[in-house]
Amino acid sequence: MRFLILFTTLMAGWLLMSGIYNGLLIGFGIASCLLCTWLSLRIGAIDREGLPTHLFARLPAYLAWLIGEIISSNIATAKIILRGTSDPEIFEVSANQSTAAGLANYANSITLTPGTVTVDIDEAKTGPSRFLVHALHPQFGDDVRSGDMDERNCALEGVVSGHLGKSGK
């Protein structure tokens, strides 16, 4: 079943990005998607973490929220740059995700929002992992430290985080 889901997803992406629909190119697209799906199966990448179908239902709401955060952070970053009021800081924040993919998603979400960059990930064997984050302004640091993005990423994974906010130093 996962083989079919991956093939369908790859093929849909290929068709959307191709823009040219003739027999030869569609045949190449099918062959390419079949090859990629077969290779993914051979290396064991079509497991629960490699193809997280359990996230599909919660993903649209998360993406809508993340896009809103990206837009508002863009505006705030532009204001800080135009006013020349940057006050960079580097801080640590805990990450309560239960999988490597969840940690990567949280780190990427921090980096996607303008004004913040995940610099380092300290993946803990027990307890929460820690991220080293650079923020252009303490306002952005406070947004990350509030724990909202951490909780939303945990919810995306389907895990209730033990996060109570204020996890940074």
Crossing angle for the helix pair 23-42 and 2-18, to the nearest 10 degrees: 140
Please report which confidence band the pLDDT of residue 160 belongs to, taking 50, 70 and 90 as the band edges.
low
- CB-based contacts of 13: which residues, under 8 Å, 6+ apart? none
Break the chain into its structural domains and give their ranges. 2-42, 55-157
What pLDDT score does 132 carry?
Answer: 94
- Average pLDDT, stretch 145-162? 84
Q: Is pLDDT above 70 for 162?
A: no
Percent helix, strand, coil in the chain, to 5, is 55, 10, 30
State pTM to two decimals: 0.74
- CB-based contacts of 124: which residues, under 8 Å, 6+ apart? 130
Q: What is the pLDDT of residues 88-126, one digit of tens each?
A: 999 999 999 888 888 999 999 999 999 999 999 998 777
Q: 110: how many CB neighbours lie within 10 A of its CB?
A: 25
